[in-house]
Structure 1
Amino acid sequence: MARQHPEEPTLVELTIEEVKAMGKQGMAHPSTRPVLIGGAIGAALGLVLDAISWPVGLFIGAAIALLMRVRR
């Protein structure tokens, strides 16, 4: 496992900062639209698949889109 330097922010810290910025800037933030689209795709898959419900799909889709934005 790679060691991080103490001054490097963790993935959790980066994600929290991204969500805060999205909350402040709304649709003007560059991550808001991809995260909303990811949530919509997840919700649609949740409607189609019997294994998960649409709220779970919405959450998973938005979370995946958010993590993809933060990790780049």
Structure 2
Amino acid sequence: MTSQDPNEPKHQDHSLIPNATAELKGIAKEGMKHPSTKPVLTGAAVGALAGGLLPVVTWPIGLVAGAGFMLYKRIRP
């Protein structure tokens, strides 16, 4: 028998991929009217800028990483 620690992180549901898919479809359909479009584009721009400034990362990798991070933050605040 195991006891659960109340300080242990809670198990998250496994709906990240369906939520991200629905969010991306909404962005694609509504364009700039969708509430997630501007934060995701801002994250992509910041990531691309950081990728351009850092010697190890190229700007396309930074763009994808920045957009992916902001999309994740929109789905899981």
Per the normalisation by structure 1, the TM-score is 0.88
- Structure (1 or 2) with the greater helix fraction: 1
The structure-2 alpha-carbon separation of the partners of 1:2 and 1:44, relative to structure 1 and needing over 3 Å to count, comes to same
1:41-60 mapped onto 2 (5 Å cutoff): 41-60=46-65
What's the CA shift string for 1:46-67, capped at 9, x where partnerless?
0100111000000000000000
- Segments of 4+ in structure 1 off by > 3 A? none
Higher relative contact order (CA 8 A, sep 6+): 1
- Structure 2 unmatched runs, 5+: 1-9
Q: In angstroms, what is the RMSD of aligned CA positions? A: 1.5
2:33 to 15, 22, 28: 28
Larger Rg over CA atoms: 2
Q: Which amino acid aligns with 1:53?
A: T
Percent pairwise identity: 41
- Structure 1 unmatched runs, 5+: none
Count, aligned residues: 68
1:37 to 22, 32, 42: 42
